[in-house]
């Protein structure tokens, strides 16, 4: 049981952290997700993939946590950071922070689908099974997430553009 937790804790915590944007909350929800998963392990269908099932539980716990946090809003430690034009290492860190910030502003469904696809390398079919929705819906969510993230990065000046570029309508 401890081996199982050790094997998947990074991925579950990563998803929770992306979904919640707060380390302590992500740890709490990760712990809760593991407990839930282990308690319902007897009902797990062994023909299915374990990782999408576990990540689906974690995603559901994150949504429940967010719903409760919406009812009781608290101070978040999200700080809007402006990028500076320092060296390459600093620029890369700034880009990562900007992406994290843009991710936190996405709709929950978009965020979860995007993170599961791009970070956890799940296929659309696995994400659809995890989120219990059609594959086409998942594709739409991921594409909208990309577009919104790209637009946010452009609006915040993270992406260097040509000065005379004409904005698309």
Partner 1 sequence: MQCAEFESRLNDLLDERLRLDADFLLSEHARCCRECRNLAAAYEAVVVGLEQSRPPEPGVDLAARVLTDMAVASGSCLPRPAALTEGHSKRVLPGRQRLFDGRILHRRVSMLAALAAAMLLAVALRWAVGPIAMEPAGRNHDGLAPQKQPGEPLVVQHAMAPDTVARLSGRQPPILEEQATGSDSFRGLAAETSQSFAVAMQLFPGVGAAPQDAGEASANDPASDWVHGLSDGLKPVTRPTAGALNSFLQLLAAGEKGSRS
What is the Cα–Cα distance from 16 to 47, expressed in whole angstroms?
25
Pseudo-torsion of CA 61, 51, 5, 40, nearest 10°? Answer: 60
Question: Helices in the chain by DSSP H: which ranges?
Answer: 2-20, 23-39, 50-71, 88-104, 108-118, 124-131, 135-155
63 lies in the binding site for partner 1 (CB under 8 A): no
Distance CA 139, CA 142 (A): 5
112-151: which residues touch partner 1 (CB under 8 A)? 118-119, 121, 124, 139, 142-143, 146-147, 149-151
Check binding of 79 to partner 1 (CB under 8 A): no
Among 26, 56, 113, 127, binds partner 1 (CB under 8 A): 26
Query: How many angstroms from the chain centroid is the CA of residue 104?
Result: 8
Q: Does 34 bind partner 1 (CB under 8 A)?
A: yes
Site for partner 1, rule CB under 8 A? 1-2, 5-6, 9-10, 13-14, 17-18, 23, 26-27, 30-32, 34-35, 38-39, 92-93, 95-100, 102-103, 118-119, 121, 124, 139, 142-143, 146-147, 149-151, 153-154, 158-162, 164-168
């Amino acid at each position: 049981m401890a081996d199982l937790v050790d094997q998947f804790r990074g991925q579950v915590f990563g998803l929770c952290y992306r979904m919640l944007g707060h380390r302590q909350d992500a740890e709490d929800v990760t712990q809760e997700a593991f407990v839930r998963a282990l308690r319902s392990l007897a009902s797990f269908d062994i023909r299915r993939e374990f990782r999408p099932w576990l990540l689906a539980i974690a995603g559901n716990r994150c949504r429940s946590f967010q719903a409760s946090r919406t009812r009781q809003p608290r101070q978040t430690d999200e700080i809007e950071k402006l990028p500076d034009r320092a060296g390459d290492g600093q620029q890369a860190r700034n880009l990562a922070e900007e992406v994290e910030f843009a991710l936190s502003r996405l709709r929950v469904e978009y965020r979860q689908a995007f993170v599961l696809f791009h970070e956890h390398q799940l296929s659309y079919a696995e994400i659809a099974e995890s989120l219990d929705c059609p594959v086409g819906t998942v594709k739409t969510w991921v594409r909208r997430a990309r577009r919104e993230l790209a637009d946010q990065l452009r609006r915040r000046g993270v992406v260097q553009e040509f000065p005379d570029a004409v904005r698309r309508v």
